[in-house]
């Protein structure tokens, strides 16, 4: 077993509040020593999250700097506290059960939240110490063997893992946030219609797929600011896509049933003139029915934030729920707000996620869905040296894929 080095690379944020990502500094530091109840991880990869950008910008109060950012990672167990055994046992309490987990050297694990990158040094480093209670094992099925050689013949190498480090590193926080927001925030049940506001974000794309394949949504709508990304959303499973204009309003499109994806799909089938005639004929045939049909949604996953929140609420039926999850719009507060601006009988909630939510989701099942391509996770892979560039992309909007930093192979 390779020995742990005495020093390792880490990305340090020395001062918050500086607009430029130049405050992110790649340095050599001593490898941390785990305290009682912690394990030392060799980080294989970590996802990039807006929460880290906001912390770097000085928008997370009560934190001490210098600080190593990073609220999630995947890695291998390589060490324990000096007085702990080689096998450490952690008890994790969820809302319904208490589970006991054992960790051994070289176990492949995932973690997120739990103060990582905030109260304790985060995952933007080659080695990090994490409470054992905040770890989940990663179980990757062994690929089917293609080795039919006899014991006397030379054995061929085992097939490589069925999932890349980059994709695996994208999962902990993304799946926790998406599953938690849909399951406990919105409490989605089969046959409901759901609007995903901010659909081209990594969580938005994941939510569309989960809604169709795991939650049984009857109709999924999604928004994007770019017509070039309509097909991306349709490929993820969106039934209708709405183009978010500069005014941040789509409620009119929703009630009129004029989603951009419908037009994008139709443009591929026959001439535009013929399609217009067919559409007019169909509209005339069902005019009475269309007038009575409510095209609004039952629920909305709000990933843009306060800039579109009220308009998203206007896209819902009475009794519908909008759940505030993301702040892609960059505005933290509603200005000149009155509760009576919320549409009549529309409910409002927020979802922030926690370690309890990390353990409440069906982690093994979802990882297997990703491995077997039932859920597709687009990623963009970077190295530690690219961290300033990555944060610049995040500040510019990102979207379309989860950005991850890869440090090693599985």
* Residue 326's CATH number: 3.40.50.720
pLDDT at 86 over 80: no
Is position 104 within any domain? Answer: yes
Please give the Cα distance from 260 to 230 (Å, whole number): 7
* Pair (16, 115) in one structural domain: yes
Neighbours of 306 (CB within 10 A): 17
Confidence of residue 205 (pLDDT cuts 50, 70, 90): very high
Domain containing 24: what range? Answer: 7-141+165-169+377-406
* Pair (401, 348) in one structural domain: no
* Pair (68, 133) in one structural domain: yes
Number of domains in the chain: 2
pLDDT at 330: 72
- Cβ atoms of residues 232 and 253 within 8 Å: no
Is position 185 within any domain? Answer: yes
Confidence of residue 174 (pLDDT cuts 50, 70, 90): very high
114 vs 2, residue with greater confidence: 114
pLDDT at 249 over 80: yes
Is position 72 within any domain? Answer: yes
Is position 178 within any domain? Answer: yes
SS3 38: strand
Q: Supply the pTM of this predicted model.
A: 0.85
- Cβ atoms of residues 219 and 296 within 8 Å: no
Is position 147 within any domain? Answer: no
pLDDT at 373: 95
* Pair (345, 399) in one structural domain: no
Please give the Cα distance from 211 to 238 (Å, whole number): 9
CA neighbor of 60 nearest in space, from 352, 295, 270, 338: 352
Report the b/e string of 44-72 with b at 16+ CB within 10 A. bbbbbbbbbbebbbbebeeeeeebbbbbb
Instruction: Kindly state the tokens that stand for 336.
Output: 């000149």
Terminal alpha carbon distance of the chain: 15
* Pair (307, 341) in one structural domain: yes
C-alpha distances in angstroms, 317 versus 153, 302, 324, 343? 68, 15, 17, 9
Is position 15 within any domain? Answer: yes
Is position 256 within any domain? Answer: yes
Average pLDDT over all residues of the chain:
86
In tens, the pLDDT along 34-56 reads 999 999 999 999 999 999 999 99
In tens, the pLDDT along 122-167 reads 999 999 999 999 999 999 987 665 555 554 455 555 556 689 999 9
pLDDT at 31: 98
- Cβ atoms of residues 24 and 56 within 8 Å: yes
């Amino acid at each position: 077993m390779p020995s742990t080095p005495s020093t390792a690379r880490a990305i340090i944020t020395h001062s918050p509040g500086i607009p430029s990502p130049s405050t992110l500094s790649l340095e050599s530091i001593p490898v941390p020593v785990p305290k009682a109840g912690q394990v030392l991880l060799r980080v294989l990869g970590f996802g990039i999250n807006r929460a880290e950008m906001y912390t770097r910008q000085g928008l997370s109060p009560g934190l001490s700097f210098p600080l190593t950012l990073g609220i999630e990672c995947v890695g291998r167990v390589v060490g324990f506290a000096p007085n702990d055994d080689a096998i450490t046992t952690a008890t994790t309490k969820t809302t319904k059960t208490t589970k006991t987990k054992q960790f051994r050297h070289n176990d492949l694990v995932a973690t997120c939240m739990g103060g990582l990158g905030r109260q304790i040094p985060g995952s933007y480093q080659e080695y990090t110490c994490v409470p054992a209670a905040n770890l989940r094992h990663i179980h990757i099925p062994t690929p089917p063997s293609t080795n039919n050689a006899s014991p006397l013949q030379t054995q061929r190498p085992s097939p490589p893992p069925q999932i890349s480090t980059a994709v695996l590193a994208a999962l902990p926080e993304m799946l926790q946030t998406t599953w938690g927001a849909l399951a406990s925030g919105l409490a989605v049940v089969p046959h409901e219609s759901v609007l995903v506001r901010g659909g081209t974000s990594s969580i938005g794309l994941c939510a569309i797929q989960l809604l169709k394949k795991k939650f049984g949504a009857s109709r999924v709508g999604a928004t994007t600011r770019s017509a070039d990304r309509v097909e991306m959303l349709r490929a993820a499973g969106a039934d209708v896509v709405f183009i978010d204009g500069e005014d941040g309003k789509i409620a009119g499109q929703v009630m009129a049933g004029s989603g951009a994806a419908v037009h994008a799909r139709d443009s591929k089938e026959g001439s535009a003139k013929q399609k217009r005639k067919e559409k007019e004929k169909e509209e005339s045939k069902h005019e009475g029915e269309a007038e009575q049909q409510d095209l609004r949604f039952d629920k909305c996953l709000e990933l843009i934030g306060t800039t579109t929140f009220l308009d998203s609420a206007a896209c819902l039926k009475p009794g519908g729920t909008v759940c505030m999850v993301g702040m892609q719009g960059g505005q933290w507060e509603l200005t000149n707000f009155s509760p009576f601006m919320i549409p009549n009988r529309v409910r409002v909630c927020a979802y922030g996620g926690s370690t309890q939510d990390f353990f409440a989701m069906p982690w093994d099942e979802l990882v297997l869905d990703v491995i077997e391509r039932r859920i597709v996770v687009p990623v963009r892979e970077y190295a530690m040296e690219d961290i300033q560039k990555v944060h610049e992309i995040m500040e510019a909007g990102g979207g379309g894929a989860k950005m991850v930093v890869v440090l090693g192979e599985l």
